[in-house]
Amino acid sequence: MTAQRQEGNALRHGLATIGLAALLLWPAGSLAWAEGATTQRIVVDRHTGLAIDGFDPVAYFTDGEARSGVADFEATAAGAIWRFRGASNRAAFLSHPGIYAPQFGGHDPVGIARGVPLRGNPTIWLISGQRLYLFSRQEDRDAFAADPERILAQAQQQWPALLATLAE
């Protein structure tokens, strides 16, 4: 093989390696966006099946804080796996999931009011009207806290149309 052909093969090999590396890295770079977006009625981690990232939905009410649930105390409801701090929280949730589960399936109500189903962050939350709401950003939580009636009215108006676009 001539030196010129060897250089050409080396160049093609180098370009192929770069292309392969870009192809392999591209999904990883887009994964952060995909994790933040949601197309489900209940916000569920697509890898684990856990609702609200494994936080105990009852603890928001009983402990007044976001607390992680424990794998030993799980229950399945609404197509998601929910984790709890203990058996009593699990029993309370299973008796009244509509009370303890985050409203709008864990989507940010400010985003819903705008017609966009944003994934709520379980560490940015608020209980209003004896219901749990999760928010994607602190600014959304603050806006909601300032005028919950207006935002809820807008969100409840938008929710049926958005719900129809979300997978079960």
Contact (CB, 8 A) for 81 and 52: no
Answer with the residue of higher pLDDT: 40 or 49: 49
Q: What is the pLDDT of residues 11-45, one digit of tens each?
A: 444 434 433 333 333 333 333 323 333 456 899 99
Which residue matches tokens 């709890």? 84
Check whether 145 has a pLDDT greater than 60. Answer: yes
Average pLDDT over residues 140-144: 98
In this predicted structure, what is the pLDDT of residue 168? 64
Answer with the residue of higher pLDDT: 148 or 36: 148
Check whether 52 has a pLDDT greater than 70. Answer: yes
Q: What is the pLDDT of residues 62-118, one digit of tens each?
A: 999 999 999 999 999 988 999 999 999 999 999 999 999 999 999 999 999 999 999
Check whether 137 has a pLDDT greater than 60. Answer: yes
Q: Could you give the dihedral angle defined by the CA atoms of residues 53, 58, 61 and 65, in that order, rounded to the nearest 10 degrees? A: -40
Q: What is the pLDDT of residues 126-136, one digit of tens each?
A: 999 999 999 99
In this predicted structure, what is the pLDDT of residue 116? 94
Residues in the chain: 168
C-alpha–C-alpha distance, residues 86 and 2, integer Å? 73
Short-list 122, 107, 117, CA closest to 67: 122
Short-list 106, 121, 124, 122, CA closest to 166: 106
In this predicted structure, what is the pLDDT of residue 127? 98
- DSSP secondary structure string for all residues of 96-144: -HHHHSPGGGGB-HHHHHTT--BBPEEEEEEEETTEEEEESSHHHHHHH
| Torsion angles phi and psi, residue 64, rounded to 5 | 70, 25
Answer with the residue of higher pLDDT: 140 or 19: 140
Question: Residue ranges of the domains in the chain?
Answer: 52-165
In this predicted structure, what is the pLDDT of residue 167? 72
